[in-house]
Structure formats: C-alpha cells, structure tokens
A and B are shown apart, each in its own frame.
Chain A
Amino acid sequence: MLRIVCEDVWKSFVRKSVLRGVDLEIEPGETIVIMGRSGCGKSVLLKHIVGLLQPDRGRILIDGEDITTLSRKHLYILRMRFGMVFQGAALFDSLSVGENVGLALREHTNKTDEEINRIVEQRLEMVGLEGVSDKHPAELSGGMKKRVGFARAIAMDPECVLYDEPTTGLDPIMADVINNLIIKLATELSITSVVVTHDLASAYKVADRIAMLHDGKIIFLGTPGQLRSTDDPYVRQFIEGSAVGPAVIGSEE
C-alpha cells in the first residue's frame, strides 16, 4: 500500500493556471475521491501522481520518494506499483481483450503463456467478464470496456489504483456495478484507491474521504458525512447542483 503526498503542486497550460498550490495526503489503503467541476484539474492532478505530467512547482512524494526528480527508468519501476482506469478505458485497439490485460505481464515478467492466460482469465472473472479474451475492444459495450480497463489495471497486483471518471457515460445500474467493483478491489486486494469523479452518488458510496478541488486548490477534505454537513458555500453549491452561488459558471471550463 502506498502513501501519496502532493506538496504545493502548481501546473499551468499555455496561459491557464490549473493547479495553484495543491496540498493533499493520501493514506495507505484508503479510498479517496477527488471531486470538482469539469475542467478544474482533477485529471491533471491524477496524472501528476503517476508522473505522466510534471508540476511547474511542488513535489509529489510516493512513500517519501519525490517522483518529480526520478529518471524515466526509475519512474517506470515505480509505475509498476500503480494501476490506472481511464475515463474512456484507453484499451489498445489493435490487441484483443486478453492481450490488453496480459500486456504488462508479458512485458515485465518471465511468466509462461499458460500462466499469463490463467491470470488474465482470473482478472477478467474478478470484474465479471468471462470468455471475452478473444474479443477486440471494438466489439465491447462501454461498461464492458471499463471493466476490461479494471482488469488490466489490476493485472500486475498494484498497490494503488487510480480511477479517472470511472462512472462517466454509464447508465445508473452499470455505474453502481463499477462502484461495487471499486469497493471490492479496495477491500479484496487491500489497495490505495484514488478516484476522480463529479458523480456525487459514486463518491458517497466508495469514498473513505472526499477532497474538493476548486480554483486550483483543495478547498475541502473530509468524510462523506462531513461533506454533507459542510457550510462552505462552494462545496454546498456543488453538492446541491445549483447554478446559483459563488462558483461562477464558465470560470473553470
């Protein structure tokens, strides 16, 4: 299980400042949900945690090690401890489902084809998808693609899984299936989970703690119960889904 610390993280793109001094500590084994309006920088923060983006200022500490100073080689070694589920699943089009899930095993381990196939089937079974190994991503529905993405993310037994908008674009029933899957993986595999979403129902269901990102900073951090009872006007406007309030419409898009 990993301990992740973001210290005063700043990031700008061209002329837009997205993160303006984010401080966040993620404890080992917890499921933390990062919420905020579309375009507020949730996914950008997530990508900083695995070194896909470099901050303009600040540090990202993984178990005390600053990943912003790591070489590419060491970053790859560190990334083997992570899994990530992407918003659009990001499955490799040219590979079958089985090849997608088993790719990291094939690249980083000396396991035989039989062993890899067995692990792939086991992971697919965990996400409720059996017998789809030979299919290609184009033949799957949105929910199935997401679940294949889950299976691929946990293929290497990661210590931390990052979820980028895992329920976006799914029907409520499939969204709940995904929520249950996040809880199941967190409890069965004892992993640290970081979930980025603006789906309140999902956040309340899976989170140990919820962080709210607004104007490039974390403006709230607490349990789902504390979120429900907070007086912060920005947070209240968000959880009430109101167009009227201190958050200016269009300011973050």
Chain B
Amino acid sequence: MDSALRTIGSGIINFLRDVGGVSIMFARVVGRLGELPRTARQTFLQMEQIGTGSIPLVLITSIFVGAVAAVQAAYQFQDYVPMVFLGTVVGKSVILELGPVLTALVVGGRVTSSIAAELGTMRVTEQLDAMEILAIDPVRYLVMPRIVAAIVMFPVLVIFSDLLAILGGMFVAHVSLGVNTATFVEGLRLFFYVDDVTSSVIKAATFGGIVALMGCYNGFNTYGGAQGVGRAAMQAVVSSCILILITNYFLATVLFRLIFYKGT
C-alpha cells in the first residue's frame, strides 16, 4: 500500500514538475522574443533543418494519406453517395485533420527527437554549462530559434502536405476509382472554405510550438550519458504526440465553433 502511494505520489510530483518546467521555459522564450534578431542566423538554420529537411518525409506520407483517404471514401460511398463528393470528403478530411495532425505526428517525431538528442548531448557533455559560463543564455541562443523556426515552418509544411494529399487523392480517384479530375475538383470546390485552411494553419503553428518545446525541455533535462540522451529523445516524442492529440481535440472544438457560428 505504502509503495503504491509512493509511486502515485512521485508520479504526480514528476508531472507537476514537468508542467512547471515547460511553462517556465516557454515563459522565458516569450520574455526574450525581443532579442530574436540577435539569433536570426540560428533561427534560419533551424528553419532550414525543420522545414527543408522534412520535405521528403512530408512528400511520401502526404501522397499516400491522400490516396488512401480517396480509396476509403469511395468504398464508404458505394452506390449511396454520388462520386462528385469524393473531392469534398478528401479535401475536408485532409485540410481539417489529416494534414495538420499526421504531419505534426510524423514530422514532429523527427524534429522533436532530433532537438532532444542534440540538446541532451550538449547537456551531458557540459556544452550547456560552457554556454552559461560564457554568459550566453541557452534559452535565447538554443531554445528560442528552434521554437520560432518550428512555429513558422510547420504551417508551411502542412499547406504543402494538404496540397500533396489532395493531389494523391485526385490521382488515385482518376486512375483506379473512375472519377475524373474535373469531377474531383468540382467536389473539392463545393464546400471549400478559406477558414478551413486558416484553422489548419493555426493547428500547425501550435503543433510546431509543442514539438520544439518538448524537444528542448527534454533535451535540457537530460542526465546519465548516452542512455540519458536516448531516454530524453523518447520522452520528447511520447510527450509531443500525446500533447498534439490532446491539443488537437481542444483546437478542433474551438476552431470548429468559431467557423461554424461564423458560417450560420
């Protein structure tokens, strides 16, 4: 009984410590945003690594996600729903959910583990201490550029992903489902709202911030050599994925209500 209570208690303490630690790190980043121009070089480097470096991954996942969305939708439609709505379903599902969430999960895994491993290695090899001794704030020099770069680049990647997924769906519809491109595009345009794209971009920027923040927090709190670096990378991926899925629900609820009420 004692042991169970101790486990639960330490779990709660660890959770609260992590929530506090992440909040403090985020607050320190926000507090130093005015110094962003000083870290412009590092920010552009991170934008290149997070954005350009993730394009091949986004390319492959998005095309196949769009393709499978078209196949599944066509299967569900059977003879009950006209195929003109295939483009509508693929477009809506990709722009509202599949694009931002899947891109965040797939690219996020790549980005957050890479950040956690890099900063974790810097922690265990005392490079972060060396930076402190040089009177350079690691939050300004290392964390801020990564968070800003992810917040800027994730929306770009998600828009790219949305386009590729729709093209993937369109291609499969034409080649194997007998729905020509004109019909697909007609369906796509039928219920297309710019607000949907805006909500997709808002989601992507939020997910980008979560991914970079989790990578930085876990990297900064690494201990215990190579094993610790591996643990930090794993914790960064797990916490990012969980937070993305939870935040997605709340964002979807809020954004859907905003769009819905605006539309009626």
Interface assignment of A126: CB less than 8 Å from any CB of chain B: no
Contact of A79 among B125, B127, B132, B141 (CB under 8 A): B132
Let me know if A92 and B130 touch, CB within 8 A.
yes
Let me know if A82 and B133 touch, CB within 8 A.
yes
Across chains A and B, which 3 residue pairs bring their CB atoms closest together, nearest first? A90-B130, A90-B126, A76-B135
A47-B129, A91-B127 given; name 18 further pairs at CB < 8 Å: A76-B135, A76-B137, A79-B132, A79-B134, A79-B135, A80-B135, A84-B130, A87-B126, A88-B125, A90-B125, A90-B129, A90-B130, A92-B122, A92-B127, A92-B131, A103-B136, A107-B141, A108-B135
Q: 27 A-B contacts, Cβ less than 8 Å apart?
A: A50-B132, A52-B129, A52-B132, A72-B137, A76-B135, A79-B132, A79-B134, A80-B135, A83-B133, A84-B129, A84-B130, A86-B129, A86-B130, A87-B126, A90-B126, A90-B130, A91-B127, A92-B127, A92-B131, A93-B121, A103-B134, A104-B135, A104-B136, A107-B134, A107-B135, A152-B130, A152-B134
Question: Which residues of A lie under 8 Å from residue B129 when comparing CB positions?
Answer: 47, 52, 84, 86, 90
Taken residue by residue from 94 to 133, chain A's Cβ proximity to chain B (1 for < 8 Å, 0 otherwise) reads as 0000000001100110000000000000000000000000
How distant is the Cα of A88 from the Cα of B141 in the complex, in angstroms?
22
How distant is the Cα of A52 from the Cα of B130 in the complex, in angstroms?
10
Let me know if A84 and B136 touch, CB within 8 A.
no
- Dominant secondary structure at the B interface: helix
Question: Which residues of B lie under 8 Å from residue A138 when comparing CB positions?
Answer: none
Contact of B127 among A76, A80, A84, A90 (CB under 8 A): A90
Contact of A86 among B121, B126, B137, B141 (CB under 8 A): B126
Question: Which residues of A lie under 8 Å from residue B121 when comparing CB positions?
Answer: 93
Let me know if A88 and B136 touch, CB within 8 A.
no
Q: Which of B174-208 contact A (CB under 8 A)?
A: none
Contact of B135 among A77, A88, A90 (CB under 8 A): A77
Question: Which residues of B lie under 8 Å from residue A92 when comparing CB positions?
Answer: 122, 127, 130-131
Task: Write the nearest CB–CB distance from B131 to chain A, whole angstroms.
Answer: 8
Q: Which of B185-233 contact A (CB under 8 A)?
A: none
How distant is the Cα of A79 from the Cα of B132 in the complex, in angstroms?
8
How distant is the Cα of A80 from the Cα of B136 in the complex, in angstroms?
10
> How many A residues touch the partner, as a band?
20 to 34
Question: Which residues of A lie under 8 Å from residue B127 when comparing CB positions?
Answer: 90-93
How distant is the Cα of A14 from the Cα of B8 in the complex, in angstroms?
19
How distant is the Cα of A156 from the Cα of B136 in the complex, in angstroms?
13
How distant is the Cα of A72 from the Cα of B32 in the complex, in angstroms?
13
Question: Which residues of B lie under 8 Å from residue A50 when comparing CB positions?
Answer: 132-133
Q: Which of B98-146 contact A (CB under 8 A)?
A: 121-122, 125-127, 129-137, 141
Which chain A residue lies CB-closest to B28?
A72
How distant is the Cα of A92 from the Cα of B122 in the complex, in angstroms?
8
Task: Write the nearest CB–CB distance from B233 to chain A, whole angstroms.
Answer: 17
Let me know if B126 and A107 touch, CB within 8 A.
no
Question: Which residues of B lie under 8 Å from residue A152 when comparing CB positions?
Answer: 130, 134
Q: Which of A57-93 contact B (CB under 8 A)?
A: 72, 76-77, 79-80, 82-84, 86-88, 90-93
How distant is the Cα of A52 from the Cα of B133 in the complex, in angstroms?
8
Question: Which residues of B lie under 8 Å from residue A79 when comparing CB positions?
Answer: 132-135
How distant is the Cα of A103 from the Cα of B131 in the complex, in angstroms?
9
Task: Write the nearest CB–CB distance from B18 to chain A, whole angstroms.
Answer: 17
How distant is the Cα of A35 from the Cα of B31 in the complex, in angstroms?
41
Question: Which residues of B lie under 8 Å from residue A80 when comparing CB positions?
Answer: 135
Which chain B residue lies CB-closest to A87?
B126
How distant is the Cα of A228 from the Cα of B126 in the complex, in angstroms?
34
Taken residue by residue from 143 to 180, chain A's Cβ proximity to chain B (1 for < 8 Å, 0 otherwise) reads as 00000000010001000000000000000000000000
How distant is the Cα of A108 from the Cα of B140 in the complex, in angstroms?
14
How distant is the Cα of A89 from the Cα of B135 in the complex, in angstroms?
17
Q: Counting chain A CB atoms within 10 Å of each CB, which of B121, B122, B126, B134 scores highest?
A: B134
Question: Which residues of A lie under 8 Å from residue B130 when comparing CB positions?
Answer: 84, 86, 90-92, 152
Question: Which residues of A lie under 8 Å from residue B126 when comparing CB positions?
Answer: 86-88, 90
Which chain A residue lies CB-closest to B131?
A92
Let me know if A107 and B133 touch, CB within 8 A.
no
Question: Which residues of A lie under 8 Å from residue B136 when comparing CB positions?
Answer: 103-104, 107
Task: Write the nearest CB–CB distance from B225 to chain A, whole angstroms.
Answer: 12
Question: Which residues of B lie under 8 Å from residue A87 when comparing CB positions?
Answer: 126
Question: Which residues of A lie under 8 Å from residue B125 when comparing CB positions?
Answer: 88, 90
How distant is the Cα of A83 from the Cα of B135 in the complex, in angstroms?
10
If the complex has contacts A90-B125, A90-B127, are A104 and B134 also in contact, measured as CB distance less than 8 A?
yes
Task: Write the nearest CB–CB distance from A103 to chain B, whole angstroms.
Answer: 6
Question: Which residues of A lie under 8 Å from residue B141 when comparing CB positions?
Answer: 107
Question: Which residues of A lie under 8 Å from residue B133 when comparing CB positions?
Answer: 50, 52, 79, 82-84
